[in-house]
Amino acid sequence: MRKKQMRRLASALALTMAAGLFTGCGNPAPKESESASAETEKTEAGESQEAGKTEDSSAAAKDTLIIATANETPSMTTHLHNATAGDYLNTMTHDRLFSTGDDLSPQPSLCESYEIVSDTEWLFHLRKGVKFHNGQEMKARDVKASLDLCKESPQVSQYGQSTGTVDIVDDYTIKITTDGPQSGLLYDLCHHGNAVLPADLIESGHDFNKEPIGTGPYKLVEWKKGESIEYEAFEDYWGGVAPIKHVIWKVIPEGSSRTMALETGEVDLVVDVETTDLTRLMEDPDLEVFNEAGTTHQWMMVNNEIAPFNNADFRRAIASAIDKEAVIQVSLQGTGSVSDSMLPGCFNGVTDTGAMTYDVEKAKEYFAASGLDPADCGFAIICSDDMKLRQGQVIQSCLKENLGIETTLESMDLATYLDVTATGDYQAAIGNYTASSVLAFSQGVYHSMSINGSNKTRLNNPEIDALIEKVQATLDPEENEKAVTELSDAINELCPQAPLFVRNNIRAYKKGLKGFNINAAGSTYYHKMSWE
């Protein structure tokens, strides 16, 4: 059981910041046009604001859904990014052989059925008559080309390792021969990196960022970078045309501006809900709020290749010096759960054994063991949105007070953040990762094959790689869980980064939106929604 500890500094900081008295540095300012638009709507509504919510948007609401997001996708492609913001959009325009279900299990999508011939041989039977957005019919040739493309793309290649050799049996059947047993194959086939694209466009070097072509329920209409992304329903979608014909994503970086946009009727749904506004949104009779535990694991990641983070005792020291409960209170208003483990505790087999807890005295012991001088250990923490910035502010205060380490906070847009952290051109950053299986999570975050991709700590440890591969090759559920525990304990002891919490999935949307859905991994299928 975690020891109860005195947290006078962190608690005072949490109260001060939660009350809005801690302004912080480097908050991304709202775009002038966005702020003006929201403020104008609020002013014009005046006392009749409630009427404005329905009368002004009722005509559009019947066939249009407007979504506010904090972060813009770095790419419309399926294989040149591994960003959550991009996955949201890929799910609208592209299908995979499988999709992630409500219970996080893989559900057949473009694959109608499959057979496990042996531990290493799988047959997948494709749906017939599925159309791409350009009118072509999807066939086995397209599936093979797409799965091979995933293997070749560094940003998502970890999701292509399990597919081994892909062979075409006939126009509607493919055979996958894996390199040994692969317990995560179906989960990997759910990932956007394995979305199915037209083979001839892959071969011709088509610009999928400019013109994404998939088999999904929506087609891209226009991308105004930094402002909005517009989609229209694909009339020939194999699953039936979506009830909501138009979907528009608005990029609104500042949290209170997203809240205001929802309240005034400028948008219908907010993906990145500003947690400081959560109570206010829950009390609004015209809105619905979803707030449940998810699988997103949040941390301060550090570059293990450079000093002082190549010193394991230094990493243990900073992980032990951070008051995670204060981080949750300040940045999420309590809508998350402390995580000490390097893997999300929601997965079977994950343990806290050997993990660093918040313990200032232990932090000082680890720091002394590192042999380092606090004056030589200052570093910059990159934050890509205002929620991460608030987390950084608590961490900054804890490290200064508890270990005498000076840190600075640096704000940057998501695309730049993803680039510099993937290439290792950074010291520390606030980050997170979401996956629907512990294997996909550990491969993406800790396996050396994911360096220059989603392994942002750049951990390159043969023992950890071998333990991940053991989980991958162990098909028996009980033995697989034991392998996960062995992996979990080893990564906890190594402490390649500083875990913070597992965050809740929070969404706010207008009443009257039917079919709202989101699973624990954060996947939402907008083509299943409709207006009353």
138 DSSP assignment: P
Q: Please, are residues 249 and 225 in contact by the beta-carbon 8 Å criterion?
A: no
- Give all strands of the β-sheet with 165-170 in edge-to-edge order: 111-118, 121-126, 173-177, 165-170
Beta strands 218-224 and 287-302 are: unpaired
Rounded to whole angstroms, the Cα distance separating 199 from 107 reads: 24
Q: State whether the Cα torsion 25-27-33-38 is positive or negative.
A: negative
Q: In the numeric block, which tokens belong to residue 91?
A: 């799910």
Please name the amino acid found at residue 167: D
Phi, psi dihedrals of residue 314, rounded to the nearest 5°: -65, -45
466 Cβ partners below 8 Å, 6+ apart? none
Phi then psi dihedrals of residue 129, to 5 deg: 80, 10
| Residue-level pLDDT, tens digit, the chain, 532 residues | 333 333 333 333 333 333 332 223 333 333 333 333 332 233 233 333 333 344 444 444 489 999 999 999 999 999 999 999 999 999 999 999 999 999 899 999 999 999 999 999 999 999 999 999 999 999 999 999 999 999 999 999 989 999 999 999 999 999 999 999 999 999 999 999 999 999 999 999 999 999 999 999 999 999 999 999 999 999 999 999 999 999 999 999 999 999 999 999 999 999 999 999 999 999 999 999 999 989 999 999 999 999 999 999 999 999 999 999 999 999 988 889 999 999 999 899 999 999 999 999 999 999 999 999 999 999 999 999 999 999 999 999 999 999 999 999 999 999 999 999 999 999 999 999 988 899 999 999 999 999 998 999 999 999 999 999 999 999 899 999 999 999 999 999 999 999 999 989 999 999 999 999 999 999 999 999 999 9
